[in-house]
Amino acid sequence: MPPDPLTMMPGQLLARGVSRHFASLGWVTVEELVPTRGLRVDVMALGPKGEIWVVECKSSRADFMSDSKWEGYLEWCDRFFWAVDDGFPTDLLPEESGLIIADSYDAEILRMAPEDKLAPARRKVMIQKFATHAARRLHVLRDPGAGLSV
Amino acid sequence: MPPDPLTMMPGQLLARGVSRHFASLGWVTVEELVPTRGLRVDVMALGPKGEIWVVECKSSRADFMSDSKWEGYLEWCDRFFWAVDDGFPTDLLPEESGLIIADSYDAEILRMAPEDKLAPARRKVMIQKFATHAARRLHVLRDPGAGLSV
């Protein structure tokens, strides 16, 4: 079953809008991918040329302030963005990252993140992880009787 | 919504068993991926080291005899298999391809396919296609309100 918007957390609703925006650009996204033990990204977006962008969705000041891990995401993507709603105090966010304003229906990139390109070997690993993550989650939804877990 | 087994075609039920088997090996699969215009594979399996195998599911002699395209799949994978049920006249199948016996619950590789490794550039393209296909289908299921199509 798809997640019910009424029970989604605020950050998940932002992620939904972010994913819709990337889809409109011809990119694909997954949520909650684990690039390495102890890290889990809100949205990982894959571009048509193998670009890998990470978007962390923050629903409130407290949500942002409690995140001590975000710098760990930088080495797993070409560009890193924050996604927040239009009431978020964006002055809090580090200027050297990208900024996306989102709601649960759509999103817009307000500030492009600087590019720090993945090395080819790591890009290969990340696209493999992305493919595996997406296909496994899809399989769980397609065939609930298979007894798979994610 | 996941597909209803009661309305699935015989070939789709074989594909379900094949996909469950690959999942048990730690591989992931997608169905109906289009490697190039005019071709659509029943099951594409992606291994942990980036291996790409194609499995065509044939529910009957007629289903096999009407397939004039299968040789076109060979150049898009490292190994090519037929998946059939245990009543299928397997003598019909070309010996130089792999053989999987399947039902809707599981499958078993009876004859390993010969390996004809993809060139690195094509493997990269195929893993990107696999990732894109899986993530887009997942997105459609996760967020039916997004108005996406596959």
Domain A5-145 falls under CATH 3.40.1350 = yes
Contact A137 B138 (CB under 8 A): yes
Q: CA angle, corner A126, sides to A143 and A146, nearest 5?
A: 10
B62: closest CA of chain A, how far (Å):
27
Q: Which string of b and e fits A85-100 if b means at least 16 CB within 10 Å? A: beebeeeebeeebbbb
Residue among B127, B143, B144 minimizing CB distance to A19? B143
Q: What is the amino acid identity at position B6? A: L
Q: Give A1-55 as a DSSP string.
A: -PPPGGG--HHHHHHHHHHHHHHHTT-EEEEEE-SSTT--EEEEEE-TTS-EEEE
Contact A2 B131 (CB under 8 A): no
Residue among B20, B134, B146 minimizing CB distance to A138? B134
Strand blocks (E) in B47-132: 52-58, 79-84, 98-102, 107-111
Task: Kindly report the pTM of this predicted structure.
Answer: 0.95
| The pLDDT value given to residue A30 | 98
B-chain residues within 8 Å CB-CB of A1?
1
Residue among A28, A141, A148 minimizing CB distance to B141? A141
Contact B139 A28 (CB under 8 A): yes
Per-residue pLDDT reduced to its tens digit, B82-122: 999 999 999 999 999 999 999 999 999 999 999 999 999 99
**What residue segments make up the domains of chain B, in order of their start?**
5-145
| The pLDDT value given to residue A1 | 60
Residue among B1, B5, B130 minimizing CB distance to A131? B130
What ipTM is given for this predicted complex? Answer: 0.94
| The pLDDT value given to residue B7 | 83
B-chain residues within 8 Å CB-CB of A23?
136, 139, 146, 148
Q: Which residues of chain A fall below pLDDT 70?
A: 1-2
Per-residue pLDDT reduced to its tens digit, B58-77: 999 999 999 888 999 999 99
CA distances from A129 to A7, A63, B47, B48, B148 (A): 28, 27, 11, 9, 23
Of the candidates A69, A25, A70, the one whose C-alpha atom is nearest the C-alpha of residue A51 is A25
The answer to whether the beta carbons of residues B52 and B123 sit under 8 Å apart is yes
Mean pLDDT of B111-134: 98
Of all residues in chain B, the one with the smallest CA distance to A131 is B131
Q: For residue B3, what pLDDT band results from cuts at 50, 70 and 90?
A: confident
Helices H, strands E: what count in chain B?
3, 6
